[in-house]
Amino acid sequence: MPVKILMVCLGNICRSPLAEGILASKLPQDKFTVDSAGTGSWHIGHAPDKRSIEVAQKNGLCIDGQKGRQFKNSDFDEFDYIYVMDNSNYRDIIHLAKTSEHKTKVHLILNELFPDENVDVPDPYYGSTNGFDNVYQMLDEVADIIAQKLIEKHS
């Protein structure tokens, strides 16, 4: 059974598709699966934002096959680790969790890089392309740490 990791943001078109693609590229596919979802429903079935696709491409990753979906309650059972991009996503997902086991699966992603600082991955949706580069660099850095931890823990 592979270890399953879910990346969550608001729209599932900017940050979490990048987080999914970046982490998946750092983990062996036979042992880990990575997916992403949004807390909101606006972009169900949509491809990632063009700017996310472009920044991924620039860094050698293809994420254009991904399709937006909304987080659902069964994800708490389906996934072993749920990484959320910001504090608002954290509140929304924790609010949906019905058991302490579900709650313990939810982690604010940048706390893996800056423990207990509760730093957000900023939402680049309304900003410039520069925002997407910034988000990419942050996610790439934290994904290295997460991948290393997961590989150590599950090998």
Provide the mask over 23-42, with x wherever binding to ligand 4NP is found by CB under 6 A and - wherever it is not: -------------------x
To the query of whether residue 9 is one of the catalytic residues in this protein, the response is yes
78-92: b (≥16 Cβ within 10 Å) or e: ebebbbbbbeebbeb
- Residues numbered 94 to 133 that lie near ligand 4NP (CB under 6 A) are 123, 125
Least distance in angstroms from the C-beta of 118 to ligand 4NP: 18
- Are 29 and 4 within 8 A, CB to CB? no
SS3 assignment, position 153: helix
Q: How many CB atoms lie within 10 A of CB 40?
A: 17
Between 126 and 153, CB nearer to ligand 4NP: 126
Residue 123 appears among annotated catalytic residues: yes
* Known catalytic residue at 15: yes
The set of catalytic residues is: 9, 15, 123
